[in-house]
Structure 1
Amino acid sequence: MDYQVEWSTIAAANFGYNHYRHRTFVMAYKKNTKLAETGVSLFKIVSKYANSSPGSRYPKPIDMSEAQADYTRVEDTRAIKLRTKRLNALGNSVVNDIVFAILDSLAKIELGEHKAKLSSINQIDF
C-alpha cells in the first residue's frame, strides 16, 4: 500500500495538564510525502511541543485556589443528567493541544518550514 506508519503514546501531563491521560496516536502517510522523505519521526517533532510539567497549564487539585476548587466541584452529582455517561465520554477524550501539535508539525514539514531544524530533531525523545 506504500504507507509508512508510526505511533507514540503521549501523556497530557507533558502538555501542562494536571492529569496523565496517556493516549496512543497512530499516523500513516504515503512514502512519497515530505515527512517520509525527511526520515524524521513525526513524534520526535511533536515532542518539542511537550515541554510543560504536570499542572503548569491547569493547576493540580492540591494547588487550586478556593475559587477554582469551587468551580470544579459539584455539590449534588445526582442532579447532573446522564452523569456517568458524560464522565465516561470525557475520560476517553483527547487533549486538543496534542492533536494541534501533531497536525501543526505535519503541516510545517509538508510546507517545508522545518528544513533547517530537522537535523537537531533526531536527538529529541519523549
Structure 2
Amino acid sequence: MEHWFLDSEFPNCDKETARFHVIPFPLEDTVSYMGGTANGPNAIIEASSQLEQLVEGFGNPGALGIHTREPLGTEGMVEQAIAAAAEAILQAYDHGAIPVLLGGEHSVSNAAIPLLRDRLPQGEIGI
C-alpha cells in the first residue's frame, strides 16, 4: 500500500493489534450531482499526512495503532458493495478495533447500520 492514514506519523499496524481500522470505501453509485466521490477515501488518506498526531486533551490516540486496509471493491450492485463494507466494519469490531469508514457519497453510512443495530445495546443509538 502506497499511502495509509496518518502515514507521516505512524506505521500501518497489523489489523490484529491496531485500535483503529480505517476502511476506504470508494463507492460512487448513488450520487445525484456531478461525480468524484470515489476519490474521497484516497484524498482523505493523502491529506491525513498533513495532520499532527496529538489531539489536545486526548493524548495520542494514534499510538494505540492504526490499520488502513486496502480499499473495498465497489463493483456490482450497490447492495453487495454495502454488504462487503458492513462485513469489514464487523470484522474490525470483532478484533476489538474502532472501525473508521472513509467514503465519498452519503450512502456509505448504510454499511454501519448492522453494527449499530446488532452489536450495541438497544436504546444507546438512534438511526
TM-score normalised by length of structure 1? 0.27
Q: Which has the higher contact order (CA 8 A, sep 6+)?
A: 2
More helix by share: 1
